[in-house]
Amino acid sequence: MRRRRISILGSTGSIGRQSLEVIEKLADRFEIIALSAGNNTELLNQQIRKFRPKYACANNINEVEGAEHTSLEEICSNKENDIILVAVSGKIGLKPTITAINNGIDIALANKETLVMAGDIVMSLAKAQKANIIPVDSEHCAIHQCIKDASQVDKLIITASGGPFLHKTIDIMKNATVEETLQHPRWNMGKKITVDSATLMNKGLEVIEAHHLFNMDYDKIEVVVHPQSVVHSAIEYIDGSVVAQLGIPSMHIPIQYAITYPARYEGIKSRSFSFCEIARLDFETPNWSKFKALKLAYECGKTGGSMPICLNAANEEAVFSFLDGKIKLFDIIDTACKMVEEHKPVFELSVDDIFEIDNEVRIKTKEKLLRLR
């Protein structure tokens, strides 16, 4: 049996490390072509010793040992790959993803920014090049598993855990420390996405991704708060039938689904699912006035063009500032709101335009953030 050849962009991150745990369990089914890190060369070198990729890259490339040095672009141009898992964080994921699609390579997509910044370009390119984009995020992975015939789907229902402040007062949330914000009740993720989960910006960005991945109008994408994170998302068919995907909250399962699709293996499965152990499943409408980020993301998605780019860049800069202890949690969304209000959307964008707008917004956001200190 020929092993599936895979490269992992961002192998030292939360998704990257978990994907290697999945691959370890399926060692006879995968051959790793390349691994990539940002700054964590020490962990990358450990991964190289263990998984023996042919190629590796990192910001400090001279510190990388045991594999041929390469770059993200070269990894994504290498047709030895059957699939590339894009698990880097931030806009750095966009260009390599486009390169891989242009080479007809399938993508297991975790990187959020790719579709938020350039959903139209990426999805139409993937269609033209016949490259599959398999979502890794648990919600989109759930929807991907539920859909049999996309033409008969009437609505997408995306679940949200609600994050650490779901039932906390606005005052508690206003004064939340970085440590409290990073205490996610269900998921163990990178810091940036964990802060976004606390503000529900993450859910808003997921709505934009879902719009592109499943070609669904924003009015037909509903967010429902589900604190247990057992129902990972659902779809409603035109006849009123609802199909949901359930499972224990673990990123291993959607990662494995995405990189083995369309096959399924036991692989990383640690135990069987039991409805009786869960006992209850709760659902509630999001508190739109407390979690303003969600409404903002819907509005930006509906406007389209450069608006989601502005939202993403402003939010990311503000999240970094919050993580550095320089602003309060609510300043993140206030800053993003102001940047969106001031932004005049531009349409028909090239990839270069996208990066230029992203850059401009970041400069202006940083100026605003300085005034908040």
Contacts (Cβ under 8 Å, ≥6 apart) of 148: none
Can you tell me whether residue 330 is helix, strand or coil? helix
Cβ nearer to ligand NAP, comparing 13 with 236: 13
Residue 108's DSSP bridge partners are 85, 134
Cβ nearer to ligand NAP, comparing 10 with 308: 10
Cβ nearer to ligand NAP, comparing 228 with 346: 228
**Cβ count near 267 (within 10 Å):** 19
Q: Which residue is closest to ligand NAP by CB?
A: 13
- Helix (H) / strand (E) element for 84: namely strand 83-86
**What tokens appear for 310 in the block?**
């502005």
**Cβ count near 231 (within 10 Å):** 18
Measured from the CB of residue 72, what is the shortest distance to ligand NAP in angstroms?
A: 7
DSSP letter for each residue of 217-267: -GGGEEEEE-TT--EEEEEEETTS-EEEEE--S-THHHHHHHHHTT---ST
Cβ nearer to ligand NAP, comparing 10 with 227: 10
Measured from the CB of residue 91, what is the shortest distance to ligand NAP in angstroms?
A: 9
- Helix (H) / strand (E) element for 292: namely helix 292-303
Whether the CB-CB separation of 76 and 10 falls below 8 Å is answered with: no
Among candidate residues 180, 184, 215, 218, the one with its CA nearest the CA of residue 200: 184
Cβ nearer to ligand NAP, comparing 206 with 236: 206
Measured from the CB of residue 14, what is the shortest distance to ligand NAP in angstroms?
A: 4
Among candidate residues 158, 129, 143, 112, the one with its CA nearest the CA of residue 10: 112
Measured from the CB of residue 324, what is the shortest distance to ligand NAP in angstroms?
A: 15
Measured from the CB of residue 259, what is the shortest distance to ligand NAP in angstroms?
A: 14
Measured from the CB of residue 59, what is the shortest distance to ligand NAP in angstroms?
A: 6
Task: State how far the Cα of 176 lies from the Cα of 328, in Å rounded to an integer.
Answer: 8
Chain centroid, CA 334 distance in Å: 23
Cβ nearer to ligand NAP, comparing 38 with 304: 38
Measured from the CB of residue 251, what is the shortest distance to ligand NAP in angstroms?
A: 5
Cβ nearer to ligand NAP, comparing 16 with 227: 16
Measured from the CB of residue 197, what is the shortest distance to ligand NAP in angstroms?
A: 9
Cβ nearer to ligand NAP, comparing 123 with 236: 123
**Which residues of this protein are in contact with ligand NAP, per CB under 6 A?**
10, 12-16, 37-40, 59, 87-90, 92, 110-113, 137, 187, 189-190, 193, 251
Cβ nearer to ligand NAP, comparing 84 with 251: 251
Helix axes 307-323, 112-129, angle to 10 degrees: 140
Phi-psi category of residue 282: left, alpha or beta, with phi > 0 → left and psi -120 to 50 → alpha: beta
Measured from the CB of residue 170, what is the shortest distance to ligand NAP in angstroms?
A: 26
